[in-house]
Amino acid sequence: MRPSLLLVLVLALAACKEEVPKPLTDPLNLLDHASQWHVFDIAGMVVPDGIAVTMTAPEPGVIAGQSGCNRYSGRVEMRENLLHVGALSGTRMMCPPTEMEVEQAFHSTIGRAKGLRLVGETLEFTDLEGKPLIRAHK
């Protein structure tokens, strides 16, 4: 085989290699200590007025805030381009049923989130298919 033909074949095969694009920035940078996000939608449920569900990042790799009734905090990281939210710890106060329902929805939903993106002014935690699970604004 001629060297020039071999070079063309090698270059053609190299061009076929599928590369996974890397994100331009770490999505976790959307959560910074200077910003507090107010959750308004949890899995299609509108958070009622007067119930605070908030989120901030007091330090890299940590999220914290109010989850309807109690305060929470937990670890969060990106691995292999997927969001991983660790178990959330928090206070254990009892509150009126509506606040407890919102809190339960938040805790059960955030653990299923696998993506994080900004759509306009809205922060979205998404599932594997990119469907919004939790939506928040500043």
What's the confidence (pLDDT) of residue 94? Answer: 96
Query: pTM (2 decimals)?
Result: 0.79
Share of the chain above pLDDT 90, in %: 75
The domains of the chain are located at: 20-137
What value does the mean pLDDT of the chain take? 87
pLDDT, residue 22, reads 42
List the CATH code of the domain at 20-137.
2.40.128.270
> How far is 79 from 109, CA to CA, in rounded Å?
19
Q: Does 88 have pLDDT greater than 50?
A: yes
Cα 98–Cα 99–Cα 102 angle in degrees, nearest 5: 90
From residue 7, give the alpha-carbon distance in Å to each of 1, 17, 19, 33, 98: 10, 16, 21, 52, 68
Q: Is the pLDDT of residue 13 over 90?
A: no
User: Which regions of 80-131 does DSSP assign to beta strands (E)?
Assistant: 82-85, 89-90, 115-119, 122-126
Q: What is the pLDDT of residues 15-55, one digit of tens each?
A: 555 444 444 367 888 887 788 999 999 999 999 999 999 99
pLDDT value at 89 more than 90:
yes
Q: What is the pLDDT of residue 20?
A: 44
**Least confident stretch, 2-11, 27-36, 41-50, 60-69:** 2-11
* 69 vs 2, residue with greater confidence: 69
Q: Tokens for 109?
A: 């939903």
User: Which carries the bigger pLDDT value, residue 90 or residue 12?
Assistant: 90
